[in-house]
Amino acid sequence: MSCAFSPKLPAPHIDVAAIVRRAEAYRSEGADVTDLRCLPSTPFPHLADAIKALRSEFVNRSLQTATQVF
């Protein structure tokens, strides 16, 4: 079984309603998973709210984080 991911969503920079709207649009275009992009140095105070909202809409989600290794 294959899984189609959405383009990476710049979730820390948009509000929860916009995240849900984009996830729904990606799902209608065939995405199985909405990929939330999150960088360690970027505040994402609405992360929990975004995940709860996506969960309530039955959207599969992935949270991508990145750390720099020296």
What local confidence, expressed as pLDDT, does residue 68 receive?
47
Distances (CA, A) of 5 to 15, 50, 70: 21, 17, 30
What local confidence, expressed as pLDDT, does residue 11 receive?
87
Strands 33-38 and 60-65, bridge-based pairing:
parallel
pLDDT averaged over 10-residue windows placed end to end, the chain, 70 residues: 74 92 89 80 89 77 51
What local confidence, expressed as pLDDT, does residue 3 receive?
72
Do residues 5 and 35 lie in contact, with contact meaning Cβ atoms separated by under 8 Å? yes
